Amino acid sequence: MSRTVHVLDPAAPGCGMALCDALAILQEDDALVILGGRDHAENVRRRRVVVDANVPMPLGIPRLASPGLGRALKTLIMESTSLDPELRPASACGPIGRIMAWSESALVATLGTDLGLPVVGQIAAVSGRPPWIEPWRRDRAHVHPIGPEIGPLLARRGWRPGEARSAADFPMQDVEHRCGRRADRALIRGQWGVRRSEELVVAISADPPSSTSLTMSLTAAATAGVAGRGMTLIADPASGQALAASRQLIDGESRLGGEPVRLVLDERVRDPRFVAPAVDVVVTVDRSDDLPYPPVSVLALRAWLACGVPLIASDRRNAASLVEDGVDGRLIPTGQRNALIHVLMRMVDEPSLVVDMGHAAAARHGRGLISGRPDWFRISDYEREGRPSAGMDSENAIAASR
């Protein structure tokens, strides 16, 4: 039976904790190579993923990582085909039949190794600037976007996307609804300086970090504060213009007054399971109908929903494939800051609405939706042109998977 080697760049967009948790369940006897140093490999191991090798990426340029990645992959291939039991790792149950890359950077690095094996890309999000690669190499990859929104963006970058993967194709680790962890809620909110139990705490989705969500959310929150609805926003320190946005908030408060709106920078927002008990709602919004910034990872959004945190998002295809408007979140018109202000103010005024949406989110997303590997993950069933994911022919992939 053939196996797969997975190539993961943990620092790339879309390769956060939600993807690592899914790999920990789906990996079985497959091998995994990490693009990054030992710290990156150790962080992935903490998610219970088995790491076979790690390859540093000089200067963060994926193309330069190809020689080291090629050596690591050749070693794994030789070990898996060795006839000597002493040289063959215990996990090697068969020869390696393909390489699966989980980001655009990992895909570029893998295609540069020229090992002659089929290369499959599973891409959940992309960086702002596409990594360079020769056009003829792109044609050798089978690229599949994760979620319904990122495919056109990959096509504009020169890839030929195949069938999209549904978020429902990926299992999730067991999570506990945030309302059931009141001790954690009080502790984390105290660390953020949130003194009132009824104060609205809003997280900004951090995969990938995007300044458009942070700046637009801050502006909307400040406007709501002037109208007498204060709140606390939690953002990733790596988010674009985070410090500039915080200074803008301080200047606005001094001029306009109203209820205080606070911004807390905490890298734990990258992992919903750490902070979900203290968060009331997560926001990811776009400033306009254009795509100046990459779409957010559909796996990251689903991780928040699974933890019982409702989602406020621009009405784009990724969010619409997960959220039923008014049930487990709100979908607002793209670029409509007034709509975001209205939703935030209503959530401040009606805390029970937030609780109800959180329960609905946990009920709809808070469990693994597959009892084994999807067909496209099994190498014996993999077809060259790809295979449609369960639920991707529906307007709501999560609902269709039930």
* 45-68 tens-digit pLDDT: 988 899 998 888 765 566 667 788
CA distance 402 to 394: 12
CB 51 within 8 A of CB 142: no
Q: Compute the Cα dihedral for 117, 14, 159, 396 and give only its sign.
A: positive
CA distance 320 to 329: 10
- Based on the domain organization, do 148 and 198 belong to the same domain? no
Peptide bond into 208 cis (omega under 30): yes
Q: 112-156 pLDDT, tens per residue?
A: 888 888 999 999 998 777 788 888 888 888 999 999 988 998 998
Tokens of 319: 């969010």
Q: Mean pLDDT lowest for which of 4-8, 110-114, 207-211, 349-353?
A: 207-211
401 located within any domain: no
CB 229 within 8 A of CB 344: yes
For the residues 380-399, what does the mean pLDDT come to? 42
CA distance 271 to 279: 12
- Based on the domain organization, do 53 and 159 belong to the same domain? yes
Closest among 314, 318, 306, 364 to 336, alpha carbons compared? 314
Q: What's the CATH code of the domain at 47? A: 3.40.50
What element of type H or E holds 303? helix 298-306
301 located within any domain: yes
Residue type at position 147:
G
Count of C-beta atoms within a 10 Å radius of residue 314: 27
**What pLDDT does residue 143 have?**
93
C-alpha radius of gyration, the chain, whole number: 22
> 0.75 cut: is pTM over it?
yes
396 located within any domain: no
Top pLDDT among 400 and 119 is at 119
**What pLDDT does residue 390 have?**
41
CA distance 90 to 103: 28
- Based on the domain organization, do 273 and 309 belong to the same domain? yes
CA distances from 224 to 261, 278, 353, 357 (A): 9, 21, 17, 21
Q: 266-294 pLDDT, tens per residue?
A: 888 888 888 999 999 999 888 665 555 67
- Based on the domain organization, do 136 and 261 belong to the same domain? no
246 located within any domain: yes
**What pLDDT does residue 176 have?**
64
CB 4 within 8 A of CB 91: no
For the residues 17-37, what does the mean pLDDT come to? 89
Q: 170-225 pLDDT, tens per residue?
A: 888 776 655 556 668 888 999 999 988 889 999 988 777 665 678 788 888 888 88
For 89-147, what is the HEC assignment?
A: CCCCCCCEEEEEECCHHHHHHHHCCCCCCCEEEEECCCCCCCCCCCHHHHCCEEEEEEC
Give the pLDDT band of residue 397 (cuts 50, 70, 90): very low
Burial of 371 (0-12, 13-18, 19+ CB in 10 A): exposed
CA distances from 368 to 150, 317, 398 (A): 23, 22, 11
**What pLDDT does residue 376 have?**
82
Q: What's the CATH code of the domain at 227? A: 3.40.50.2000
Alpha helices in 192-233 (DSSP H): 211-226
Top pLDDT among 371 and 185 is at 185
- Based on the domain organization, do 215 and 162 belong to the same domain? no
Domain tally for the chain? 2
* Pairing mode of beta strands 231-235, 200-204: parallel
400 located within any domain: no
- Domain span at residue 214 reads 178-365
Q: 68-113 pLDDT, tens per residue?
A: 888 888 888 888 765 455 555 545 567 888 899 999 989 998 988 8
What element of type H or E holds 55? strand 53-55
398 located within any domain: no
Tokens of 385: 């042109």
Tokens of 151: 């495919």
Is the pLDDT reported for residue 299 higher than 70?
A: yes
Q: 222-233 pLDDT, tens per residue?
A: 888 888 888 999
- Based on the domain organization, do 315 and 374 belong to the same domain? no
Strand order in the sheet with 329-332: 261-265, 231-235, 200-204, 281-284, 311-314, 329-332
- Based on the domain organization, do 9 and 145 belong to the same domain? yes
- Based on the domain organization, do 217 and 358 belong to the same domain? yes
CA angle 247-193-365, nearest 5°? 95
- Based on the domain organization, do 326 and 278 belong to the same domain? yes
- Based on the domain organization, do 11 and 105 belong to the same domain? yes
397 located within any domain: no
Is the pLDDT reported for residue 261 higher than 90?
A: no
For the residues 293-308, what does the mean pLDDT come to? 87
**What pLDDT does residue 343 have?**
94
Peptide bond into 388 cis (omega under 30): no
What element of type H or E holds 26? helix 17-26
**What pLDDT does residue 216 have?**
82
310 located within any domain: yes
Q: 310-345 pLDDT, tens per residue?
A: 999 988 888 999 999 999 999 999 878 899 999 999
Q: What percent of the chain lies above the pLDDT cut of 90?
A: 27
